[in-house]
Amino acid sequence: MSDLNALYTPLEKIPQVHEGLKKAFRSGKTRPIAFRKTQLLKLCHLVQDNLQRFKDALLADLGRPANETDFLELNGVLIEVKKAYDNVEKWASTEKPPFSLFWFSMSPHIRKEPKGVVLLISPFNYPVYLLLCPLAAAIAAGNAVLLKPSELCTTVAALLTELLPKYLDTEVYEIVNGGVEETTKILELPFNHILYTGNGNVGRIVATAAAKHLTPVTLELGGKSPCVIDPDCDVKVAAKRIMWGRLVNSGQLCISPDYVLVPKDFQDTFVEALKQAYEELHPTDPLKSGMLSRIVNERHVLRLKRLLDNTKGTVVFGNKVELSEREIFGPILPVVPVKDVDAAIEFINERDNPLVLYVFTRNRDFKKKVLNNTLSGTASINEVIMGCQAEGLPFGGVGASGYGYTTGQAAFNTFTHMRSTVENPTWADSLLLHARYTPYKSAPLRRLTWMLRPSIPPLPKD
Ligand code: NAD
């Protein structure tokens, strides 16, 4: 691991960085589409030229297998950045609202304006994806960006700090490194948008600091994503997908399946399927096979160990904590028996809104019932994790799992102000609009009102 302390940005430099970004944004440099495209292409190359270094850095910080980093992190970054590169003209182009006979003379348009200087604060678990994807959206939207990587992934943060200035324009995109003290200092400054990804407690701190400047915020927060199991599901596939989803990055994934709600009389069958899935996914000791990431630090290992030590449930398998290796063997997947689907729905609705809701069933009515009676950031049927990267789907939480969207065009919109404009020719006063002027004359005003007022349908009879 790198010594990030050596990279920490001195506190007194932070306002200067912010001021520099503000000035550079005001110069208009980030606005031309050609500039945005060049920077996005350079960002693609930053990742592509350094794939191995990113894999090594993630191995150093999280013990993550290189294949997993390729598949679930770096591919995702390249897809998102390239998508922004391919679509920036379309996303940024001025739009016309649908034709309206009354308003067309005013030539109404929606301009897509960059918000200004935006702040991205990212967590340790997918430290490249969760920083560079929003960066791509913010660049595409024409903003200047201050990036704050997680201090827990020191090697990744050091690598990004080295590479960013080599590829991107340092006047408008800059990294500030540090921990709580530095981030607190950053949050004293007025930004035009803040995207924070991480835990809900810090999310509240960020939103409170932002409120002082009326800064709009997007929060991507914790998961608590349940799996609802219908006994009429493909149990083998369900168990395999859930177990895989729980073990990826050692469970340090916001969209990990967090717990399973299963009907009581199906519990034993399902737990047995989970055990078999585990053995299939890890035929040899994952401590030695290098197929399982490590938990990011000792504090988090102890937190997980406490969960296991204090559980009122039965530990079915696993429960091997290797503290010296900073490791917990088999991240935790609580299986909660419930009476039926209604009890599962009640269980979910009594708690915070999940980031993702997973449903495993072959039955259309079962699926509909769960979706129609719950609310979550996103939902996947018979799938875990993968669906959240599906092309064209906005990703974001709701309630305690956050607010706002961070992928594709939805992410571009997050960092964009929709500025409505009209342009009324002087001759328009000779039509209906002259009626607005005082002294009012009732006949033209009646005509104007008649044109503007919507007709309301009558209430249906009981
Ligand atoms: P973390 O400890 O790396 O912290 C995240 C960021 O917050 C860091 O940059 C850190 O410097 C900053 N920070 C920490 N304490 C702070 C404080 N007191 N004031 C200001 N800034 C502070 O990561 P974490 O928060 O443990 O992240 C893991 C959490 O993030 C999990 O709950 C996970 O579910 C969630 N997450 C959500 C998403 C999503 O898209 N919804 C994605 C990834 C992770």
Phi, psi of 376 (to 5 degrees): -145, 165
Nearest CA to ligand 1 atom 28: 198
Banded model confidence at residue 114, pLDDT cuts 50, 70, 90? very high
Name the DSSP class of 383: -
284 & 166 share domain = no
Residue 190: the pLDDT is: 98
For residue 201, report the distance from its CA to the centre of ligand 1, in Å: 9
Nearest in space to 118 (alpha carbons), one of 71, 171, 173: 173
Q: Could you give the maximum distance between any two Cα atoms of the chain, in Å? A: 88
60 within a domain of the structure (yes/no): yes
123 within a domain of the structure (yes/no): yes
32 & 159 share domain = yes
pLDDT value at 329 more than 80: no
What is the domain-level CATH number for residue 269?
3.40.309.10
Per-residue pLDDT tens digits for 226-282: 999 999 999 999 999 999 999 988 888 899 999 999 999 999 999 999 999 999 998
Nearest CA to ligand 1 atom 42: 254
268 & 330 share domain = yes
CA 359 vs. chain centroid, Å, equals 21
Average pLDDT (149-171) is 97
Which residues sit with their C-beta closer than 6 Å to ligand 1? 121-125, 130, 148, 150-152, 179-180, 183-184, 197-199, 202, 205, 220-223, 254, 355, 397, 402
Banded model confidence at residue 364, pLDDT cuts 50, 70, 90? very high
Banded model confidence at residue 316, pLDDT cuts 50, 70, 90? confident
pLDDT value at 330 more than 50: no
Written as six digits, the tokens of 48 are 């592509």
pLDDT value at 29 more than 70: yes
436 within a domain of the structure (yes/no): no
Question: Alpha-carbon torsion 18, 45, 115, 122, what sign?
Answer: negative
401 within a domain of the structure (yes/no): no
CA distance 20 to 10: 15
Q: Which residues are catalytic?
A: 220, 254
368 within a domain of the structure (yes/no): yes
440 within a domain of the structure (yes/no): no
Residue 325: the pLDDT is: 52
67 & 125 share domain = yes
434 within a domain of the structure (yes/no): no
Nearest CA to ligand 1 atom 43: 254
250 & 323 share domain = yes
Average pLDDT (437-454) is 91
Write the CB contacts of 247 (distance below 8 Å, at least 6 apart in sequence).
278, 281, 282, 292, 330, 331
Phi, psi of 297 (to 5 degrees): -155, 175
206 & 250 share domain = no
CA distance 219 to 418: 20
- Out of 395, 428, 450, a domain closes at 395
Least reliable range by pLDDT among 1-5, 172-176, 235-239, 250-254? 1-5
What is the domain-level CATH number for residue 79?
3.40.605.10
CA distance 117 to 146: 7
How many domains, the chain?
A: 2
Residue 293: the pLDDT is: 83
- Residue ranges of the alpha helices (H) in 218-363? 235-247, 267-281, 286-289, 298-309, 341-349
Per-residue pLDDT tens digits for 198-232: 999 999 999 999 999 999 999 999 878 999 999 99
pLDDT value at 373 more than 60: yes
262 & 133 share domain = no
Note down the domain range covering 293: 226-395
Banded model confidence at residue 6, pLDDT cuts 50, 70, 90? confident
Residue 277: the pLDDT is: 95
For residue 226, report the distance from its CA to the centre of ligand 1, in Å: 21
123 & 183 share domain = yes
370 & 284 share domain = yes
Least reliable range by pLDDT among 105-109, 214-218, 316-320, 348-352? 316-320
Nearest CA to ligand 1 atom 5: 123
237 & 373 share domain = yes
For residue 122, report the distance from its CA to the centre of ligand 1, in Å: 6
443 within a domain of the structure (yes/no): no
Which residue from 177, 181, 183 has its CB within 8 A of the most atoms of ligand 1, so it is best to mutate?
A: 183
290 & 374 share domain = yes
14 to 150, 185, 217, 339, 398: CA distances (angstroms): 16, 7, 20, 55, 32
pLDDT value at 326 more than 60: no
Per-residue pLDDT tens digits for 46-85: 999 999 999 999 999 999 999 889 988 999 999 999 999 9
Element containing residue 451 per DSSP (H, E)? helix 442-452
Nearest in space to 218 (alpha carbons), one of 31, 22, 15, 401: 401
84 & 14 share domain = yes
Classified as helix, coil or strand, 177 is: coil
Average pLDDT of the chain? 93
Q: Which atom of ligand 1 is nearest to the CA of 124?
A: 3
